[in-house]
Structure 1
Amino acid sequence: MHERSWSAVPIVAEPPTDSGTGDGRRFFEVPESGWHALFAWAVGPEHMVRCLDTRPPEPVRVVCESRGKRTVRVEERTRGDRSAVDSMIHDYLTDARVPSQPCGFRWFIELPDGIDDADQFFARFGPALMNLPAEPCPRREREAMIAVAETLYTTAPQE
């Protein structure tokens, strides 16, 4: 059992493929949001891998509305855009009392036995998250996510 920390997540040279990592484990990529990063924290480092993000930045879609007219344009992602995304993830994790996730990585969660994809994975957390009070509270979400993760994996994550 690893200590619960981002630095305990193994670094792999290449992102896992659809067929897994070659050791029978299958993974899906964690979307870039604080809420999704909280899922990664909940499953713990023994059920994750990460790799350096060497992909070129994806373009940003900018939507403007003025006087009832809507325009859409695509721009290259800037450092400011990257910083804003990282800041939002940091703020969400801070509210959940989770350390900041290191930047510059792509994060992957292992699919538990009997779960075929990310949609099925997230659906398993639905009932526990729906039973939380209506007002969002990342700390409560963290606790609920960890409890569900403990039931999904044979080795329960430690906090």
Structure 2
Amino acid sequence: MWADATVIEKGSDRWAVLDENGWGAMIGWAAGGDLARRPLADEGRTVMVTVERAGFSASSEEPFSRADRVLVDDSIDEYLAEAGIPARPRGWVWLIRVPDSCPSGKDFFDRINEELNTFKPAPVLPSEWLPVMLETVARLYGNG
């Protein structure tokens, strides 16, 4: 399914970038054919690093390194594997089509999270979240 995602060079307001974590990747998997990707560009990207020692805290902005990229991708792959989802191809920014019923990507993600927070008892493991996520995303696209 990942390999079938449309390749786009530039997004629009109808495409929202998925969070770069396992949760965002699971939302993308649940969207199925409503997924796109564009080439990843980490050059020039920075991260805020905070070091805490003996009650002292210091923060600095540092370049996002290749080692950082590997850590991010590995953690996403581990989360997906726990849910039984194959790893995403690396080297891409992943986007999801915003349904017509949502005015923005932020609204779409807020609605997903709002609906997921209504499940009681709340799932804990990624494998427990997957069926709930599939149902919720399908409903927001008008397929559920």
| TM-score, L = length of structure 2 | 0.88
Deviation of 1:55 (Å) = 4.8
Q: 1:94 aligns with which of 81, 85, 97?
A: 81
- 1:139 partnered with 2:127: yes
Letter in 2 for 1:113: D
Contact 1:96 1:139 in 2 (8 A): yes
Structure 2: tracts of 5 or more residues without a match? none
Q: What is the match of residue 77 of structure 1? A: 64
Q: 2:11 aligns with which of 13, 16, 21?
A: 16
Q: Give me the whole-angstrom Cα distance separating, in 1, the residues matched to 2:116 and 2:11.
A: 29
Letter in 2 for 1:128: L
Shift in alpha-carbon separation, 1:30–1:116, aligned structure 2, 3 A: same
User: Which secondary structure does the structure 2 equivalent of 1:70 belong to?
Assistant: strand
Q: What is the match of residue 21 of structure 1? A: none
Q: What is the match of residue 115 of structure 1? A: 102
RMSD of the TM alignment (CA)?
1.8
Deviation of 1:152 (Å) = 2.1
Aligned residues: 143
Contact 1:129 1:141 in 2 (8 A): no
Structure 1: tracts of 5 or more residues without a match? 19-25
1:37-75 C-alpha deviation (Å, 9 max, x unpaired):
10000010x211111113525112111112221111122
Q: What is the match of residue 32 of structure 1? A: 20
Deviation of 1:32 (Å) = 0.5
| TM-score, L = length of structure 1 | 0.81
User: Which secondary structure does the structure 2 equivalent of 1:39 belong to?
Assistant: helix
Shift in alpha-carbon separation, 1:40–1:132, aligned structure 2, 3 A: farther
Structure 1 stretches of at least 4 aligned residues deviating more than 6 Å after TM superposition? none
Identity among equivalent pairs (%): 29
Shift in alpha-carbon separation, 1:137–1:128, aligned structure 2, 3 A: same
